Amino acid sequence: MKNLLMAFSIVAGLTSSAICSAQAIVGKPAPVFNAVDATGKQVSLADYKGKMVVLEWMNPDCPFSKAQYSTGNMQSTQRYAAEKGAVWLSINTASVVRPGEMLASWMKSQQGSPSAIVPDDGKIARAYTAKTTPHMFLIDPAGKLVYAGAIDSMTGTNPADIKTATNYVKQALDETAAGKPVSLAITKPYGCAVKYSPSA
């Protein structure tokens, strides 16, 4: 009986994971969500239809997020996205949701320029199966998910390596803006593990 229950638990866990993973699929409509940003403003993915949208999972305490910001790589990618007319949402998922003021203060200290900073208890992260900070997603103007993965070809925190890495997000923005399929639509994200709330 014990073995049977254990087997059922394993199967149930795999099923739950598969359902969660199936929610965000490159080439399919991006999962919609509604949230409140760091300033208390309502944010809805549906409001940005007709524009490219970049989702960045970030964590001020993560060495990988810190490295991307300390080198200016994330900020330059944010500016590049803005020049392409894209909306940029920086999402912070935590088991205990951080105050919006704290996240906004950190972003200001880094001179970042996202369109909005979104505290998340895990619901948005689960919909997109966000795994790391950073973990990047690009949604095209029609609302389709066209890129998911790492910000670049780097897998560590060495500033010298980050500066010479291929920026996958800029590449995906260029191709999407030109009406072309993203040539490298899925890459393996790297960074600190996203911390989910058990209730999410």
Asked if pLDDT for residue 172 goes beyond 60, the answer is yes
Asked whether the beta carbons of 27 and 146 are under 8 A apart, the reply is yes
**What digits encode the pLDDT tens for the residues 64-80?**
999 999 999 999 999 99
Asked whether the beta carbons of 145 and 29 are under 8 A apart, the reply is yes
| Average of per-residue pLDDT values in the chain | 88
Q: How confident is the model at residue 16 (pLDDT cuts 50, 70, 90)?
A: very low
Q: When comparing pLDDT for 17 and 164, which is higher?
A: 164
What is the predicted pLDDT for the residue at 3?
Answer: 38
200 domain-assigned: no
Question: How many Cβ atoms from other residues are within 10 Å of residue 7's Cβ?
Answer: 10
Q: State the Cα torsion 56-60-64-68 to the nearest 10°.
A: 70
Q: How confident is the model at residue 12 (pLDDT cuts 50, 70, 90)?
A: very low
198 domain-assigned: no
Domain residues for the domain of 115 are 2-193
**What digits encode the pLDDT tens for the residues 25-65?**
999 999 999 999 999 999 999 999 999 999 999 999 999 99
pTM: 0.87
Q: Identify the CATH number of the domain in which residue 133 sits.
A: 3.40.30.10
Number of domains in the chain: 1
63 domain-assigned: yes
